[in-house]
């Protein structure tokens, strides 16, 4: 039990499969938690919304207007341009900071991965990008609010387990949630106001991004007004994409730096399929990078973005593994345990991308193979899996193609994990960079 709630924690892939296939509809709703009330616009966010007509409608909008294969193909140029812009800025930084005696420049790739991911999703959802520097009160405040969101979302409040203690706000976490939610909402409210103004002036231009599209198709529902739905849905997509993608890229580069043989194999693959006389990789190039795809799968196995799944709640009585499960029971998937099961994965704690080219070559991350479900499965599976994989493959491929990476003094990367709902790296990923390609290749990129 978790306080007053019955809870079922699943650490076995076969039972997870039973829960999310045979009993998928029974476990399709979410409990109402303090975080879903404050961060989720009182459950208007699709990630927090209870199962029902409202959730189905908003998920349909999100899938068709942003996350369908057709829409993702139309948005390919945004992803490619933002990756190019980010790497050009990194090259310019290297050019500016290198000296005559040392051509290595120290950068924090954890921050760089975050910035490029955030710019891609902001461009697509609200038609904006963040300033490159961390200067400016609004940028600093916005990023701090994002950090606080993920840390607070990962906390299980005593009041969620024991609702009658909520009025005490033990630890002050609910007060903090209210403040962070207010700060995030102020930014999204401003974006929505700008979209409405543009729409009034010139309707065609205001509908190029997701928030603009929602303005034209949303109407009030019984549960929420149209503006709340727009803000909640847009923010949900930004939050989900930004954190999980940047975290996975940070872990992937960290693992490669601690496993130089694997890093060399990635570079060999790039040399074969791209060569050193071309700078920019496109998404069509990434289809040929089979070893890099295996590196990403192995990273998602070792460090699933959310080690524990978002909580499901049983809407009706059901049977799991022969046991009766009552309506109202919480279901939590221990993805970390499933992904490290020695019965499925030989040497489960070792970084071995080759397993996805040999013994586990038929296992994918799209929710069909329950031994590896970093994005979940079933009705409540993350709808952005295709988008996430495109961003991961395109960004990592270009980063590893453009630059050589070394840790300072050759020391191993610190692999400690931070706090929060997602498995972020606790410390920055500070590495020395040097250009990997001949100088003339970079000169033609501007």
What dihedral angle (degrees, nearest 10) is formed by the CA atoms of 247, 249, 251, 255? 180
Cβ atoms of 432 and 106 within 8 Å: the answer is yes
| CATH 1.10.630.10 holds for 7-130+233-443 | yes
Q: Write the DSSP string, 27-52.
A: T-B----HHHHHTTTTTTSTTTPPSS
How far is 213 from 75, CA to CA, in rounded Å? Answer: 14
Instruction: Give the mean model confidence (pLDDT) for residues 179-201.
Output: 92
Q: Average pLDDT of the chain?
A: 92
φ/ψ of residue 282, rounded to 5: -105, 175
HSE value, Cβ hemisphere, 13 Å, CA-based, for 200: 6
pLDDT in tens, 222-279: 899 999 999 999 999 999 998 889 999 999 999 999 999 999 999 999 999 999 999 9
Cβ atoms of 211 and 195 within 8 Å: the answer is yes
pLDDT in tens, 121-147: 999 999 998 865 455 567 777 888 888
Kindly report the number of other CB atoms within 10 A of residue 439's CB atom.
8
Going by the annotation, the residues of the binding site for heme are 382
CA distances from 221 to 17, 199, 202, 226 (A): 34, 22, 27, 7
Going by the annotation, the residues of the binding site are 382
- Give domain limits for the chain: 7-130+233-443
Do you know the residue count of the chain?
446
Cβ atoms of 356 and 298 within 8 Å: the answer is yes
pLDDT of residue 205: 54
Better pLDDT: 204 or 334: 334
CA distances from 136 to 108, 139, 141, 143 (A): 20, 6, 9, 11
* Residue 206 predicted with pLDDT over 50: no
CA distances from 13 to 301, 308, 340, 360, 379 (A): 13, 13, 11, 15, 17
pLDDT in tens, 364-384: 999 999 999 999 999 999 999
């Amino acid at each position: 039990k978790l306080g007053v709630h019955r809870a079922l924690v699943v650490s076995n892939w076969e039972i997870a499969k039973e829960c999310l296939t045979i009993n998928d509809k029974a476990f399709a709703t979410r409990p109402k938690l303090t975080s879903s009330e404050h961060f989720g616009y009182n459950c208007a966010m699709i990630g927090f919304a209870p199962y029902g007509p409202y959730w189905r409608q908003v998920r349909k909008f999100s899938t068709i207007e942003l996350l369908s294969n057709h829409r993702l193909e139309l948005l390919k140029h945004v992803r490619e341009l933002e990756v190019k812009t980010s790497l050009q800025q990194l090259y310019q930084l290297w050019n500016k900071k290198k000296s005559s005696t040392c051509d290595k420049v120290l950068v924090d790739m954890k921050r760089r991965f975050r910035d490029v991911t955030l710019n891609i999703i902001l461009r697509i959802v609200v038609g904006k990008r963040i300033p490159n520097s961390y200067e400016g009160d609004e940028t600093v405040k916005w990023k701090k609010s994002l950090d606080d969101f993920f840390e607070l979302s990962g906390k299980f409040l005593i009041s969620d387990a024991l609702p009658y203690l909520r009025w005490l706000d033990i630890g002050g976490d609910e007060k903090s949630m209210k403040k962070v939610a207010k700060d995030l909402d102020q930014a999204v409210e401003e974006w929505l106001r700008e979209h409405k103004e543009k729409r009034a002036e010139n309707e065609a231009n205001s509908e190029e991004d997701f928030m603009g599209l929602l303005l034209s198709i949303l109407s009030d529902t019984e549960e929420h007004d149209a503006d709340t739905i727009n803000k909640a849905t847009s923010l949900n997509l930004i939050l989900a994409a930004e954190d999980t993608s940047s975290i996975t890229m940070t872990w992937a580069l960290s693992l490669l730096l601690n496993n130089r043989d694997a890093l060399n194999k990635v570079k060999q693959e790039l040399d074969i399929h791209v060569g050193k006389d071309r700078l920019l990789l496109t998404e069509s190039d990434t289809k040929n990078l089979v070893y890099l795809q295996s590196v990403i799968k192995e990273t998602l196995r070792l460090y699933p973005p959310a080690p524990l799944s978002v909580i499901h709640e049983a809407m009706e009585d059901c049977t799991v593994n022969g046991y009766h499960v009552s309506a109202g029971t919480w279901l939590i998937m221990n993805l970390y345990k499933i992904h490290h099961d020695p019965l499925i994965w030989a040497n489960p704690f070792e970084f071995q991308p080759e397993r996805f080219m040999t013994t586990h070559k038929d296992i994918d991350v799209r929710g069909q193979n329950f031994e590896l479900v970093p994005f979940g499965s079933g009705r409540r599976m993350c709808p952005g899996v295709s988008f996430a994989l495109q961003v991961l493959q395109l960004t990592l491929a270009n980063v590893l193609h453009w630059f050589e990476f070394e840790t300072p003094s050759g020391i191993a990367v610190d692999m400690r994990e931070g706090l929060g709902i997602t498995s972020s790296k606790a410390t920055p990923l500070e590495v020395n960079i040097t250009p990997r390609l001949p100088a003339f290749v970079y000169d033609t990129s501007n």
